[in-house]
Amino acid sequence: MEQVLFGSSANAGKVNRWKTYLVGVSVLMLCLSGNESAQATTGVGPYEVPQVLDSNGNANIVETWIVADEATDIIIGNGVTANGMAYKSCSDADFNTCTPPAIPGPEFRLKVGDRVIVHFVNKLDPSGLTPEANVSGIHWHGIELNNDSDGTELTQSAVAPGGIFTYDFIVSRPGIFWYHPHHHSSTNQVAKGLYGSIIIKDKDGYEAALQNQGVIPSAAQTKTLVISDITVCNTPGTGTNPATFDGNLPHVSGIQSWEINYQNHILTQSPLILCETNPLDANGNLTGPYAAGDVPNIQSPGLIGPMSEGFTVLTNGVNVGGRLGTPDKPGALADGASTLDVQAGQGLRLQIINPSPVRYMRLRLTNSKGIQTPLVRIGGEGGLLNNAVVEGGKGAGGFNSKYGKGEILLPPAGRADVVAEIPASEKLDSVLTLWTEDFQRVEATYSWIPTVPVMHLKVSGRAATRYNIGNGRPLLASLGAQAMVKALGAATGDLVVPVDEDGVGGAPAGSVDKDIKLTFTNNIGAFQPSIDGIPMPRDFTGGFGTGNPFYLESARHATLSNTMELTVTNVTGAHHPFHLHGFSVQPIKLTPRTGTIGPSYTFDREFRDIVDVPANYTLTFRVSLDGRPLKSASLGVDGGKGRWLFHCHILPHATFGMMSELHVH
Ligand SMILES: [Cu+2]
């Protein structure tokens, strides 16, 4: 059926027609919610995201109330609903005017220099068996904000259910960012749906100029895609694995083989285990079986525990529906699959975010005959690139990316700004599908996850002008030197010996080793994720989670305003996406770690906050420890000082201990 949905603010005023199968997908962007209890919710549809409600009249300030709540009956596709967690945005302190709670949460659309004021309200369940587990907060992933607003255990006490905390910061870099909880078992809160997108445009008109010149597609041809995953339980006792999973979910072609693969996998975590035989409460302790529709907790408190990808993939909170076959040999679309209308010959820009706790998204676009359309990357975590790039395949020196040329790899928390040319030769009503494939995350093996569709593009006509882009197409480079991504120069400072800042003695612990090691510590026979062999202890009962920071020997200390050159060496047998809070880094190269041989990889100039480090590789990066305003004050640069986490963004790894901090003095 045809439905009319409001476009995003990027094309406000235009009403776009999207084909969708969802009955009753809400055209309601606002709702009245005086009602305090959790409520039935709906997503906006797989190819749209809700937008934040801005209560502030100043064009350079976005102010909103972001409410985290338990959410029941979230429509996730094919008539299946989930009981998870969702954000909504309200434009008043009484929550009279709000967006519907949704997965993903409402999107922030900002420009560089904007001030953001967010009153975060925690309405998660205060009455459960483990109320302390429902503490929360918001980390503004990738934003170079004041330390007070970073939303982690190091900077802020967790917000208890019923509590409120105001974040206040200025955004300084264009790009694609996102927000999510970081306190306590944020693994579970993210797995249940607490995440949302942030799109920041430059303030100099570079992007607009490239759009006007037709170098990149227009705002109307640009879509946010938050691609995540989730597991939803079936009625307990309905049968063995895989029947425990709701069979109505149109999530995969080939769940049966997937289940078998899971059973063979050392980190087996099937729906049966998660929902029935080993159900965990929010503190990681055993609890009773989950009811149909519930989203189970996935984080255990031990040294290591079950850890795997969610069992259905969501595109903006909705499963788009299956397709038979494979990317190279696609078959028929499943009944009711969601398609987005496109024109043959048009350019389509996708701003993609992967908020999954564990899953790597390896994206490949093919047409109904299996012919690949390259995904050309034009930007991502730090705004537009100097030149467009087709990634993947084997690099010049033989470096194996482990994904195909023209594919896009997004580790957990990664983002990419990509453009595809819809081939001009496509016939009317033909359907191209964007798939996510398995990735060899662990050196010895794949993750045993199925290849599933995340977007279906239905050709509904022909574009008046044919769009073209390819590898090396100048982007910012076409606009002159002032527009280009700035190169960070050689280091101007070193790590420093920890100082006794408060003058009371007992200087904090730390290391001056410029090589940060990602390690699996052998701890009581288990491989505990850690930094430099030192796991960051995580207290699931709230001690650390409610703000009682302590220092580790793996902490690094540095001085504001310096450029640093540091390395991260992965001495484990698996990939880990390295994330530094508060400062975007410029990755320089990946080289085989000392004592091993292999090809190297040199990065194009770019700012990132997530860099995937393959097993046995060393990442070299530079970072400029720039000052920025303090919260609630426009003077001074002390907002850059403070304690900033760095960690693996596979969330169970971070929670198990692969996390430490950079303390900027
Ligand atoms: Cu990891």
Residue 511 C-alpha to ligand 1 middle, in angstroms? 21
Tell me whether residue 229 is exposed, middle or buried, using C-beta atoms within 10 angstroms of its C-beta: 0 to 12, 13 to 18, 19 or more.
buried
What is the CA(520)–ligand 1 centre distance, in A? Answer: 9
The alpha carbon of 575 and the centre of ligand 1 are apart by a number of angstroms equal to 7
Query: What's the pLDDT score for residue 79?
Result: 75
CA distance 192 to 231: 9
- The per-residue pLDDT for 40 is 39
Q: Which of 46-55, 149-158, 554-563, 620-629 has the lowest mean pLDDT?
A: 149-158
118 phi/psi in degrees, rounded to 5: -120, 120
CB atoms within 10 A of CB 241: 18
Average pLDDT score over residue span 540-556: 62
- Spatial separation of the C-alpha atoms in residues 447 and 467, rounded to whole Å: 36
Residue 26: pLDDT band (50, 70, 90) is very low
For residue 310, name the pLDDT band (cuts at 50, 70, 90): confident
pLDDT at 523 over 90: no
CB atoms within 10 A of CB 335: 10
Average pLDDT, the chain: 84
pLDDT in tens, 96-132: 999 999 999 999 999 999 999 999 999 998 766 555 6
What is the C-alpha to C-alpha distance for residues 32 and 97, in angstroms, rounded to an integer?
Answer: 6
CA angle 458, 465, 204 (to 5 degrees): 100
- What pLDDT was estimated at residue 69? 93
Closest CA to 2 of 458, 428, 433, 420: 458
CA of 181 to the centre of ligand 1 (A): 18
Q: 439 C-alpha vs ligand 1 centroid, how far in Å?
A: 14
CA of 518 to the centre of ligand 1 (A): 8
Q: Are 80 and 232 in contact (CB under 8 A)?
A: yes
pLDDT tens digits, 324-374: 888 999 999 988 899 999 999 999 999 999 999 999 999 999 999 999 999
Q: Give the DSSP H or E segment for 186.
A: helix 186-191
Share of the chain above pLDDT 70, in %: 82
- 456, 432 in Cβ contact below 8 A? yes
Rg (CA), the chain: 23
> Going by C-beta distance under 8 Å and a sequence separation of 6 or more, which residues neighbour residue 307?
267, 269, 298, 358, 650, 652, 653
The rounded Å distance from CA 554 to ligand 1 centre is: 16
Residue 83 has phi, psi (to 5 degrees) of -105, 95
**650 CA → ligand 1 middle, Å:** 5
**Cα of 653 to ligand 1 centre, how many Å?**
5
Mean pLDDT of 430-447: 85
| pLDDT for the residue numbered 358 | 92
What is the three-class DSSP state of 404? coil
Residues near ion ligand 1 (CB < 5 Å) are: 576, 648, 650, 653
pLDDT of residue 481 exceeding 80, the answer is yes
Q: Distance between CA atoms of 503 and 500, rounded to whole angstroms?
A: 5
Beta-bridged to residue 141, according to DSSP, are: 178
- Give Cα 462 distance to the centre of its chain: 33
- Asked if residue 347 lies in contact with residue 221, where contact means CB atoms within 8 angstroms, the answer is yes
Å from CA of 304 to ligand 1 middle: 12
Amino acid in the structure at residue 182: H
Burial bucket for residue 553 (CB in 10 Å: 0-12, 13-18, 19+) = middle
Task: State the pLDDT confidence band at 451, using cuts at 50, 70 and 90.
Answer: confident
Structure confidence at residue 180 (pLDDT): 98
Cα–Cα distances in Å, from 648 out to 44, 221, 655? 31, 34, 9
In this structure, are residues 507 and 499 in contact, taking their beta carbons and an 8 Å threshold? yes
Report how far ligand 1's centroid is from the alpha carbon of 628 (Å). 30
pLDDT at residue 13 is higher than 80: no
Of 115, 140, 105, the C-alpha closest to 203 is 115
Q: Is 37 exposed, middle or buried (0-12, 13-18, 19+ CB in 10 A)?
A: exposed
Q: Would the pLDDT of 34 be above 60? A: no
Q: Ligand 1 centre from 516 Cα, in Å?
A: 14
Distance 519 CA to ligand 1 centre (A): 9
Beta bridge partners of 591: 618
Q: How far, in Å, from the CA of 659 to the mean position of ligand 1?
A: 9
Contact 303, 656 (CB under 8 A): yes
Residue 287 has pLDDT above 60, yes or no: yes
- Centroid of ligand 1 to alpha carbon of 262 (angstroms): 19
Rounded distance, CA 425 to CA 430, Å?
10
Instruction: Express each pLDDT in 488-512 by its tens digit.
Output: 999 999 999 887 666 666 667 889 9
Lowest-pLDDT choice from 190-199, 383-392, 532-541, 628-637: 628-637
The dihedral sign for the CA sequence 440, 441, 446, 451: negative
Distance, CA 44 to ligand 1 centroid (Å)?
Answer: 32
Distance from residue 585's CA to the centre of ligand 1 (Å): 18
Distance 616 CA to ligand 1 centre (A): 13
pLDDT at 542: 47
**Cα 648 to middle of ligand 1, angstroms:** 5
- Band (pLDDT 50/70/90 cuts) for residue 273 is confident
Contact predicate 313/454, CB 8 Å: yes
234 or 210, which is more confident? Answer: 210
Span from the CA of 649 to the centroid of ligand 1 (angstroms) = 6
Residue 448's pLDDT is 65
Distances, alpha carbon 665 to alpha carbons 270, 556, 638, in Å = 46, 11, 9
Question: In the beta sheet, which residues pair with residue 563?
Answer: 624
Map tokens 């609903």 to a residue.
Answer: 81
Q: Ligand 1 centroid to 278 CA: how many Å?
A: 23
Helix (H) or strand (E) holding 341: strand 340-344
Write out the H or E segment, with its range, that includes residue 653.
helix 651-656
> How confident is the model at residue 311, as a pLDDT?
81
Rounded Cα distance, 587 and 609, in Å: 9
Measured CA to CA, the distance from residue 553 to residue 532 in angstroms comes to 9
Whole-Å CA distances, 138 to 145, 162, 291, 505, 575: 13, 15, 28, 32, 26
Residue 440 to residues 400, 406, 445, 619, 647: CA-CA distances in angstroms? Answer: 11, 17, 6, 19, 21
**CA dihedral in degrees (336, 342, 344, 347; nearest 10)?**
-140
pTM: 0.90
> 10 Å Cβ neighbour count for 29?
15
